[in-house]
Amino acid sequence: MTGALSKRPYKIAVSSGKGGVGKTNISVNLALALQRAGHKVALFDADLALANAHIVMGAHPKKTLVDALGEEVSLAEIATEGPLGVKLIAGGNGLAELMDLSHELRHQIAKSFDQLAPIADYLIIDTPAGIESNVVDFVSVANRKLIVVVGEPAAFIDAYACIKVLHQTAGVNHFDVVVNRVRDDAHGEDVFRRFKAIAAKFLTCNLYHVGSIPEDAQMLKSIGACSPVVMSAPQSRSARALEALAKRITGPHATPVDEGAAEMFAAGTQEDG
Which stretches of the chain bind Mg ion, using CB under 5 A? 23-24
Rounded Cα distance between 134 and 111, Å, is 14
Which of ligand ADP, Mg ion, none interacts with 219 (beta carbon under 5 to 8 A by kind)? Answer: ligand ADP
Which of ligand ADP, Mg ion, none interacts with 180 (beta carbon under 5 to 8 A by kind)? Answer: ligand ADP
**In the complex, minimum distance from the CB of residue 46 to ligand ADP, in angstroms, rounded to a whole number:** 11
**In the complex, minimum distance from the CB of residue 65 to ligand ADP, in angstroms, rounded to a whole number:** 17
Residue among 101 and 155 whose Cβ is closer to ligand ADP: 155
Residue among 4 and 178 whose Cβ is closer to ligand ADP: 178
Which of ligand ADP, Mg ion, none interacts with 181 (beta carbon under 5 to 8 A by kind)? Answer: ligand ADP
Which of ligand ADP, Mg ion, none interacts with 21 (beta carbon under 5 to 8 A by kind)? Answer: ligand ADP
Residue among 173 and 238 whose Cβ is closer to ligand ADP: 238
Helix axes 23-36, 237-249, angle to 10 degrees: 70
Residue 228 is given by DSSP the state -
**In the complex, minimum distance from the CB of residue 66 to ligand ADP, in angstroms, rounded to a whole number:** 21
Residue among 203 and 245 whose Cβ is closer to ligand ADP: 245
Residue among 4 and 91 whose Cβ is closer to ligand ADP: 91
**In the complex, minimum distance from the CB of residue 216 to Mg ion, in angstroms, rounded to a whole number:** 18
What are all long-range contacts of 140-144, with beta carbons under 8 Å and residues at least 24 apart? 140/110, 140/166, 140/170, 140/172, 141/11, 141/110, 141/111, 141/113, 142/11, 142/12, 142/13, 143/4, 143/7, 143/10, 143/11, 143/12, 143/257, 144/10, 144/11, 144/12, 144/13, 144/176, 144/249, 144/257
Rounded Cα distance between 44 and 2, Å, is 23
In the chain the first and final C-alpha atoms are separated, in Å, by 16
In the complex, the residues that contact ligand ADP under the rule CB under 6 A are 16, 19-25, 180-181, 213, 215-216, 219-220, 223, 238
